[in-house]
Amino acid sequence: MSAVQPTDPSHLPLPPGPSLAESYRLLKMSPPEALLKLAKDYGDVVRWRTPLNTIYCLNHPEHVRQVLTQSYPRYTKDTIDYRVVGRTLGRGLVTNEGADWAKQRRLMQPVFANRSIDKFDVVINEMTTQLSEAWARRRPDETVWLDREMSRVTFQVVSRTLFGTAIDDAADEMVEILEIVNQHPLKLTSLMTLIPWLPVPSNRRFARIKARLDAMVDGLVEQRRASGDSSRNDILDRLLAARDQDTGEGMDREQMRDELITLLLAGHETSATALVWTYHLLGQHPEVEARLVEELRSELGGRAATSADLPRLPYLKMVVQEAMRLYPPVWGIARRSNEEAEFGGYRVPAGSYISISMYALQRHPEYWPDPDRFDPERFDPKRNEQRHSYCYIPFSAGPRACIGAGMAMLEIQLVLAQLLQRFVVRPVPGFAVIPQAVVTFKTRAGMPVTITPR
């Protein structure tokens, strides 16, 4: 009989983790905080038993690389979280799997290539100028909900880049619908959400709203197809023209709808969240804000930035990167392993739930000294080279990394470049900003601010 290979995981111990009583206590914390505490208390590989399932929490960049890149086909999205969001996103890129996902990703990748999205600077600046004009009309002592303002502008940007001006008439209704749809995963605690055919009111309401959203998106696609006009060069035009390189086929109606709804949702709250947390951190660090405004003023002299300006605004990028390190808009992702595997000398059985928390990883003290401190200098390009590339993954990594990362970075930087030059945004004193982790990492009761011309 052959000797047991030392690499055979079946003989390794299971990872350490909290007792059942401690696990219950952790459930009272927000998930990102709980996962950070687990990493601090038990290390980079932790086994967390909860009443619903056992989660294997990975917090070492090499293990993250193993799951997201090296062995990625062994880790699927067959988890509760994706099942819930899948009710809205269908077979769109975020929730699709296997060969079908690979085909769609190939089809859509060129649409999001840097040279294609750079041209969206015009739309981003136009939408930001509209917001800026509305801000200029506000009274200086007026309380403004920054989270809502940022959500509105990022929705306008993503919907305009997808559909062009065709969306304008439907925009208000669509915002309302997306808000309801976004709240749906919050009802996870009721568990009813997981059994969509149960005729409880929340499921009936969701079905009604989702049908309306589908009809609106189908309508916009049909209108475009019928017009025969493919000269607008928005994302819809490009998706309609996209053909599979092997079969020459385009997308069918349902697939097109799922992709468009996915892009609307994936590309909207995420960028808004990044903007809100960046403002929050700037409000607490006036010295960083002063240096940033100085960079913007000397390079742009008050005008909006274009894509071509960004290489001359290094500090702007560093500030955004550092804000997304401390408050990653997507705070964590889940996977399910379909094979037994070894992580750091521990065994993780086949069929396990795996959790990767950007929040915990990006505060790992071994890679981020004094991890809770806001310090954009960490992202000085020379220092970036020295760091393990998998300890900073706000857009995830590997084949399933965010397809919209370039567009999001462009948008966040251009919005800030314009608004920071014109306005001083300050938190309303005494208001406690409490993070709340839903799908994105938001603030529980929003972010009230005052806005004055700079």
**415 counts as binding ligand HEM under rule CB under 6 A:** no
Which C-beta is closer to ligand HEM: that of 64 or that of 93?
93
**395 counts as binding ligand HEM under rule CB under 6 A:** yes
* Both structure tokens of 233: 């060069």
Q: How far is CA 223 from the centre of its chain?
A: 30
Q: How far is the CB of 324 from ligand HEM (least distance, A)?
A: 6
Q: How far is the CB of 81 from ligand HEM (least distance, A)?
A: 8
Q: Do the beta carbons of residue 150 and residue 237 sit within 8 Å?
A: no
**127 counts as binding ligand HEM under rule CB under 6 A:** no
In this chain, which stretch among 163-171, 224-232, 325-333, 347-355 interacts with ligand HEM, using CB under 6 A? 325-333
Cα–Cα distance list, 59 to 215, 323, 385, 390, 397 (Å): 42, 20, 20, 10, 14
Q: Which residue from 396, 427, 433, 452 is in contact with ligand HEM, where contact means CB under 6 A?
A: 396
d(CA 39, CA 361): 9
**182 counts as binding ligand HEM under rule CB under 6 A:** no
Alpha helices by DSSP H, listed for 137-200, are 146-163, 171-183
Q: How far is the CB of 239 from ligand HEM (least distance, A)?
A: 12
d(CA 412, CA 415): 5
Q: How many CA atoms lie within 13 A of 4 on its CB side?
A: 6
Question: The tokens 């062994």 sit on which residue?
Answer: 74
Cα–Cα distance list, 272 to 125, 157, 325, 422, 440 (Å): 15, 11, 15, 19, 10
Q: How far is the CB of 442 from ligand HEM (least distance, A)?
A: 13
**262 counts as binding ligand HEM under rule CB under 6 A:** yes
Q: How far is the CB of 64 from ligand HEM (least distance, A)?
A: 12
**116 counts as binding ligand HEM under rule CB under 6 A:** no
**394 counts as binding ligand HEM under rule CB under 6 A:** yes
Cα–Cα distance list, 2 to 5, 6, 9, 293 (Å): 8, 12, 16, 67
Q: How far is the CB of 345 from ligand HEM (least distance, A)?
A: 26
Residue number, nearest CB to ligand HEM: 404
Q: How far is the CB of 376 from ligand HEM (least distance, A)?
A: 17
**346 counts as binding ligand HEM under rule CB under 6 A:** no
d(CA 79, CA 371): 30
Q: How far is CA 222 from the centre of its chain?
A: 29
d(CA 267, CA 349): 34
How many residues form the binding site for ligand HEM (CB under 6 A)?
A: 23
Site for ligand HEM in 149-168 (CB under 6 A): 158
**281 counts as binding ligand HEM under rule CB under 6 A:** no
In this chain, which stretch among 131-139, 189-197, 364-372, 389-397 interacts with ligand HEM, using CB under 6 A? 389-397
Contacts of 397 (CB under 8 A, 6+ apart): 64, 65, 68, 69, 389, 390
**402 counts as binding ligand HEM under rule CB under 6 A:** yes
**90 counts as binding ligand HEM under rule CB under 6 A:** no
Binding site for ligand HEM (CB under 6 A): 93-94, 105, 158, 262-263, 266-267, 270-271, 274, 329-330, 333, 394-396, 400, 402-404, 407-408
